[in-house]
Amino acid sequence: ELKVEQNPLFLSMQEGKNYTIYCNYSTTSDRLYWYRQDPGKSLESLFVLLSNGAVKQEGRLMASLDTKARLSTLHITAAVHDLSATYFCAVDPARTTSGTYKYIFGTGTRLKVLA
Amino acid sequence: SAVISQKPSRDICQRGTSLTIQCQVDSQVTMMFWYRQQPGQSLTLIATANQGSEATYESGFVIDKFPISRPNLTFSTLTVSNMSPEDSSIYLCSATGYTEAFFGQGTRLTVV
C-alpha cells in the first residue's frame, strides 16, 4: 500500500526559530509537491520538485527532494506567525508508469507559530 | 496556472438527498480530479474525471454514490447521492497542468 507520511503531524514553534518538516513516501515518484492550506481555504502550491537533488527556496521556506531515500524536507527559517497553516506534501507515482497525474497526499503537518 | 471555480462553496443538506457540485476551469487541462477532505484530515482521492467517458474511481468509492461527469475539457460535476451525515466533508476539485495540480476553493458539505 502506498503511504505518504509526514513528520511531525503537529508543530508549535516560537517566532524566529528554525524547524524541518519531513515527508517520506513508500513508492517510486520522480516528483514531489508541497502545498499550504489555511483554515477553511483551498490548497496553495508552494513548491514543485522535479528531480533528485532538487532544492527550491521561497522566502523563509526551503524544500528539497531525495528520490533515492524517498524523502523530502520543508525547512522553515526564522519562523513568523504568517507561516501558521497546514502543510501537505504529495507525490504522483502513477505518472512514472502510466503518464497520469494522480496525487497522493501526505498526512499533513499543522504548524502554529507563536508570537 | 489554472483558475478553478467551484460551487457551491458550502451547503447544508438533508439526509437522503443529493447535491451536485460544479467545477469550472479557466483553461483546457488534461486531467481533472475530485478529492474529499474530512475535518482536520488529509485529502483522499475520490476519482479521476474522464472527458466523455466514465470516471475512474478509487478504492472505497463507487459510481452510484458519487456520479461524476466531464462533458468537456474545462468542466466537471460531482454528485453526492443519498447523503448521510458521514458524507459531511469538504469536496475539492483539482485540475492538473503540465507541472502541478491546482485546486478549487472547495465545497463544505454538512448533512443533517
Cα three-residue angle B74-B36-B79, rounded to 5 degrees: 60
| CB within 8 Å: A88 and B33 | no
Q: Minimum mean pLDDT among A5-9, A58-62, B1-5, B105-109: which range?
A: B1-5
Q: Is A19 on the interface with B (CB under 8 A)?
A: no
* pLDDT (mean) for B14-36: 93
Contacts of B105 (CB under 8 A, 6+ apart): A41, A42, B4, B6, B9
| CB within 8 Å: B42 and A88 | yes
| CB within 8 Å: B48 and A102 | yes
Q: Is A9 on the interface with B (CB under 8 A)?
A: no
Are B76 and B95 in contact, with CB atoms under 8 Å apart?
no
What's the confidence (pLDDT) of residue A101?
65
Residue B103 has pLDDT above 70, yes or no: yes
Contacts of B51 (CB under 8 A, 6+ apart): B70, B71, B72, B73
Residue A38 has pLDDT above 60, yes or no: yes
What's the confidence (pLDDT) of residue B55?
92
- Selecting from A48, A100, A107 the residue whose C-beta is nearest the C-beta of B42 gives A107
Q: Is the dihedral of CA B92, B96, B97, B98 positive or negative?
A: positive
What's the confidence (pLDDT) of residue A95?
60
What's the confidence (pLDDT) of residue B67?
97
pLDDT per position as a tens digit, A77-88: 999 999 999 999
Count Cβ atoms below 10 Å from residue B6 Cβ, excluding itself. Answer: 22
* pLDDT (mean) for A37-48: 92
* pLDDT (mean) for B41-63: 92
